[in-house]
């Protein structure tokens, strides 16, 4: 009986792996078009980030963005959910369930998104499609729309601090935004200012809120 149970378990695992591989292959074929649709849809409002703005976004959300393969479980801060994975959630899910679908997101990012899309296009698509809260009953999507919604001005006219506040919102835009919780927004933006200035660093890999901003390690 135990042999049959083992055999059944092996078959189940093999079948699951096969289905997952098939799904990854299907998504990989669809990915270029999915990204193209995002870039086409938001082409007229896609903001042109300065080098400094890109550096700030990457430092907070995905410190190893330019070098990783969409996966980073070692870097303190937001590295556990990379920019590429954040985009994958937007591309492949209508409703993403945190925790339950994390492994799928990692697989889809590594084997469907990264092989097909350049890091530059991943960054552009993320900036175009990032969810940045809800205002007056409408979802705010993309940095350009967020600049208008939260600060009443075009993205190109944002002050440096206002841009940092948009980046600060990414961790939880429904809870941290200029309307619902200015105190938490200010606190997080202050930590980001210190982070990008090299004055502190997240202490542990899972410190996604940058609440534990410790001394910078000297090498």
Ordered by where they begin, the domains of the chain are 32-214 (1.10.3810.10)
Please give the pLDDT value at position 193: 93
- Residue pair 166/179 in contact (Cβ under 8 Å)? The answer is no
pLDDT mean over 115-134: 96
Residue pointed to by tokens 């997240």: 202
Q: pLDDT value at position 178?
A: 86
Tell me, what's the pLDDT at 88? 95
The pLDDT, as a whole number, for residue 58 is 94
Encode pLDDT of 27-55 as tens digits. Answer: 999 999 999 999 998 888 889 999 999 99
The 10 Å CB-count burial string (b at 16+, else e) for 2-18 is eeeeeeeeeeeeeeeee
pLDDT at 15 over 60: no
> What pLDDT, on a 0 to 100 scale, did the predictor assign at position 16?
41
Inter-helix orientation angle 119-129/143-151, to 10°:
30
Q: Rounded mean pLDDT of 63-87? A: 85
pLDDT at 79: 53
Segments of the chain assigned E as strands = 131-135, 138-141, 201-202, 213-214
Who contacts 162 (Cβ-Cβ below 8 Å, separation ≥6)?
A: 147, 151
Looking at the chain, the whole-number percentage of residues with pLDDT higher than 90 is: 53
Mean pLDDT, the chain, rounded, equals 83
């Amino acid at each position: 009986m135990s042999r049959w149970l083992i055999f059944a378990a092996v078959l189940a695992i093999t079948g699951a792996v096969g289905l997952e591989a098939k799904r990854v292959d299907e998504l990989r074929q669809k990915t270029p078009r999915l990204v193209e649709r995002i870039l086409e849809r938001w082409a007229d409002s896609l903001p042109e980030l300065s080098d400094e703005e890109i550096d700030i976004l990457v430092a907070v959300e995905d410190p190893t963005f330019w070098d990783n393969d969409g996966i980073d479980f070692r870097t303190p801060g937001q590295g556990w959910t990379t920019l590429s994975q954040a985009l994958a959630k937007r591309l492949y899910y209508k409703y993403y369930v945190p925790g339950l679908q994390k492994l799928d997101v990692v697989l889809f990012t590594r084997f469907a998104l990264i092989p097909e899309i350049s890091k530059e296009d991943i960054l552009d698509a993320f900036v175009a499609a990032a969810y940045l809260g809800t205002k007056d009953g409408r979802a705010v999507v993309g940095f350009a729309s967020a600049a208008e919604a939260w600060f009443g001005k075009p993205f190109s006219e944002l002050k440096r601090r206002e841009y940092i506040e948009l980046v600060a919102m990414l961790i939880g835009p429904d809870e941290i935004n200029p309307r619902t919780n200015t105190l938490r927004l200010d606190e997080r933006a202050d930590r980001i200012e210190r982070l990008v200035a090299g004055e502190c660093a997240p202490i542990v890999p899972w410190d996604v809120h940058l609440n534990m901003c410790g001394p910078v390690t000297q090498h």
